[in-house]
Structure 1
């Protein structure tokens, strides 16, 4: 039974860490704080739709693009792992994520910066592509859709979650996710080196 579920579990967890739905709550609230209930619902829908569409598109054509320009999966694992590590370290620094809010002047904030790059950014794109190569398309897409469902519920109930966890709680959770993301980045680099130099 575990062997059947293993690919789904092993794809779900890295994508969950990369998406960091709960860690995005404070930024989401700061962006929609002045909006009414219907406007918030539209922002949530736009966020999830954009994030899902961008991620699925990259999963479907990302490997083909890499192959077309002559980049192997091992190359991408090393580069992607390094990128994940750098992103996670930067996000651990104070104020980095908030810069997305400060620089956002778009009317449709559900598309940018919430849909991308906040929910589906480089970390999610890199993770999903490598999960696709490692575990296959179906487990990756199913895990991605499950995570986007979590994002939808989390953002729709952001005020309630924030009251329960508090600002400090959501920030602490987010920091833990960033550390795990850094560890996943190191793992990807290791696998890329082993696959590229010691096949």
Structure 2
């Protein structure tokens, strides 16, 4: 139990479910309750699947393909940046991503389980073992899911105007997060 708790904390910081919540609200504000639940389920499934595969074969697969964590950070950052730019520069029009895609990219990965989580997993596997790492990922992803499911309560509190303002601020924040991911990825690549 202690190993799971020790592994939980760094993954909690890396997942940053509370930080991802406004982005989830922004991306799903035009979807109904059932669509949002499907998106949450798909993002949980995607995040856990990506994390499990990476935990089990990440080092070997990346090595085989010649991919570094830096490469992964740059790619994830570029995907997020494209989404943010569309949200910022298309006034009055809402980019509507199909629910099949939204739960996978960008929510499942790279937002819930992205380079930060995957890198953290590699580090804590060596410290605490595979099972505590897997349990910590599952618990953190489920925490994110609970936050996402109750996101409508946040909308009720802040109202429609507040949601619109939050949407634009979050699109800008998403762009900044994307640039940060690209920057860290490039720094990682330079230091190879």
- Quote how far apart the aligned CAs of 1:123 are: 4.3
- Quote how far apart the aligned CAs of 1:169 are: 2.2
Q: What CA distance in whole angstroms lies between the structure 2 residues aligned with 1:148 and 1:125?
A: 12
Deviations 1:63-116 (A, max 9, x none): 4444454527994311111113322332331348944x1x53xxxx4xx14422
TM-score of the two chains, using structure 1 as the length reference: 0.66
Q: What CA distance in whole angstroms lies between the structure 1 residues aligned with 2:77 and 2:87?
A: 18
Equivalent in 159, 164, 174 of residue 163 of structure 1: 159
TM-score of the two chains, using structure 2 as the length reference: 0.68
RMSD: 3.6
1:115 aligns with 2:103: yes
Paired position in structure 2 for 1:175? 172
Change beyond 3 A, Cα 1:187–1:16: same
- Give the stretch that moved more between structures: 145-154 or 64-73: 64-73
Structure 1 unpaired stretches of 5+? 33-39
SS in 2 for 1:31: coil
Is the 1:73–1:192 contact (alpha carbons within 8 Å) kept by the matching residues of 2?
no
1:91 aligns with 2:87: no
Q: What CA distance in whole angstroms lies between the structure 2 residues aligned with 1:13 and 1:28?
A: 23
SS in 1 for 2:63: coil
The number of residues matched between the two structures is: 175
SS in 1 for 2:86: coil
Q: What CA distance in whole angstroms lies between the structure 2 residues aligned with 1:166 and 1:120?
A: 22
Change beyond 3 A, Cα 1:144–1:74: farther
